[in-house]
Structure 1
């Protein structure tokens, strides 16, 4: 019974998320749901590992994920964090069905909806509202990625930190300073200074 209640709540959350952009009839939403599977992961588990085939895209219901790229020197760079109501994955590898260049790992126990490429393609072909939904989502994601690159290139560390606090006010309570520093492109010591309260 508890599992059923959780599944119903997850379905309702997904529908509310989709209907922020498009309207779906009950029949259309049933078709959408048929393409997804729900899964739960424990803290530290990987959803995607670099070098492996990317089979699914993920919608976060509860929990927190980090998307990471490891360079040739072995340094890990945090590309993004995915909180509730976020879509995450290695999009390039997912769409091209090539080996992942990013890894996706749980920072908390996490529940997700998983969408395989076949399901994504089916929805885009057969449900025009979902084709529009994904077009809008991918466009917004591209804009956000460009803004993040520009902030790393042009903003001083303090402004990057303040921007992060405005965009994700709960993140510093959920993520270690080490990971936040990797996301902002600063040292942990610099982040500690940035996080100190200023003069009253």
Structure 2
């Protein structure tokens, strides 16, 4: 399936638009390929795009002053990624987005997204729905971090996204769960 068909199926789960509207919508995206390990957004960047994953896996991460990495999100096919605080507020990026694997993404410039939302009500509905869904997922993750032990968070991640364990190095899964690599090994082997 090509990038256009993948995006079409993705938005069709939420909204209905005509073929002409979709073609116009799709014309605002730019297909880009990135290599494993390549940065898409680095700390301090100006962020004016978001990325829809067609193929591969991205990570959104933060590195603190002690050089400890925290994974905010993994983005697999049909997921979106960016530094949303920087994208929506205009501040410089505080988080990075890079490629865990080779990746192919569709990039949408924020000005184009805003224009599309003004011109096609269904597109505005789609982006609002997607933002709401992302907020709910972030809230659930935060509550899980506050209320559950490492084993429960590990089992929860495995149940929700079993494909991550074959795709993502264990040290990155540990950083996502907020545990050491050694703790993850104990959980993984028990």
TM range (shorter): over 0.9
The alignment status of 1:54 with 2:47, answered yes or no, reads yes
Q: In structure 2, list runs of 5 or more residues that go unmatched.
A: none
**Counterpart selection for 2:160 from 167, 170, 192:** 167
Question: SS in structure 2 opposite 1:181?
Answer: helix
Give the whole-Å Cα distance in 1 for the aligned partners of 2:47 and 2:20. Answer: 29
Partner of 1:28: 21
The TM-score normalised by the length of structure 1 is 0.93
Alignment of 1:100-111 (within 5 A): 100-111=93-104
Give the whole-Å Cα distance in 1 for the aligned partners of 2:6 and 2:61. Answer: 26
Give the whole-Å Cα distance in 2 for the aligned partners of 1:16 and 1:175. Answer: 25
Q: In structure 1, list runs of 5 or more residues that go unmatched.
A: 1-5
Give the whole-Å Cα distance in 1 for the aligned partners of 2:70 and 2:112. Answer: 30
**Counterpart selection for 1:114 from 107, 114, 117:** 107
Give the whole-Å Cα distance in 2 for the aligned partners of 1:73 and 1:124. Answer: 41
Task: After the TM superposition, list the runs of 4 or more consecutive aligned residues in structure 1 that deviate by more than 4 angstroms.
Answer: none
Give me the CA root mean square deviation: 1.0
Give the whole-Å Cα distance in 1 for the aligned partners of 2:43 and 2:123. Answer: 29
Give the whole-Å Cα distance in 1 for the aligned partners of 2:167 and 2:5. Answer: 25
The alignment status of 1:10 with 2:6, answered yes or no, reads no
Partner of 2:189: 196
The TM-score normalised by the length of structure 2 is 0.97
Partner of 2:33: 40
Partner of 1:155: 148
Structure number with bigger Rg: 1
Partner of 1:86: 79
Give the whole-Å Cα distance in 1 for the aligned partners of 2:114 and 2:154. Answer: 38
Partner of 1:141: 134
